[in-house]
């Protein structure tokens, strides 16, 4: 049961999750991170580390919706092992509805 990055991460990218993951299983896209589901050891420490509650277990409703997206882009995006600087406008995107369709269009869950 891996954990999954969901819509709240989009354009926020606070990256506190990266600092706490013991197995470096996050991957970084330009607009959000995803978790590689085959590498996640289900430790759960990243879930409370995210300030916008973007990380969910894959048996939660939102986690289920985003699992295939995480699995797909974990194969395409590069591994990220260190927290970087969040976007300057991260707080403007916090909690904004409809981010997924705006940013990912047809690829959005």
Q: Which of 3, 11, 17, 21 binds ligand F3S (CB under 6 A)?
A: 17
> Should residue 3 be labelled a site residue for ligand SF4 when binding is judged by CB under 6 A?
yes
Q: Of 31 and 68, which CB lies nearer to ligand F3S in the complex structure?
A: 31
Instruction: Give strand pairing partners of 27.
Output: 34, 79
Closer of 41 and 101 to ligand SF4 (Cβ): 41
What does the DSSP assignment read for the chain? Answer: --EEE-GGGTTT---HHHHH-TT--EEE-SS-EEE-TTT-----THHHH-TT--EEETTSHHHHHHHHHHHHHHTTSPB--S--PPPTTHHHHTT-TTHHHHHHGGG--
Does position 40 interact with ligand SF4 (CB under 6 A)? The reply is yes
Q: Is 60 near ligand F3S (CB under 6 A)?
A: no
Reduced to 3 states, what is the DSSP secondary structure of residue 55? strand
Restricted to residues 24-43, the positions that interact with ligand F3S (CB under 6 A) are 33
- Residue 101 binds which entry of ligand SF4, ligand F3S, none, CB below 5-8 Å type-dependent: none
Site for ligand F3S, rule CB under 6 A: 5, 9, 12-17, 33, 50, 52, 54-55
């Amino acid at each position: 049961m891996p954990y999954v990055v969901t819509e709240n991460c989009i354009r926020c990218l606070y990256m506190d999750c990266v600092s706490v993951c013991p197995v470096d299983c996050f991957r970084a896209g330009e607009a959000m991170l995803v978790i590689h589901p085959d590498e996640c050891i289900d430790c759960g420490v990243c879930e409370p580390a995210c300030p916008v509650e973007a990380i969910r277990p894959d048996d939660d409703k939102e986690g289920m919706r985003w699992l295939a997206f995480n699995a797909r882009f974990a194969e395409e995006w590069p591994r990220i092992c260190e927290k970087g600087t969040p976007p300057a406008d991260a707080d403007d995107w916090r909690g904004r509805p409809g981010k997924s369709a705006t940013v990912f269009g047809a690829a959005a869950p």
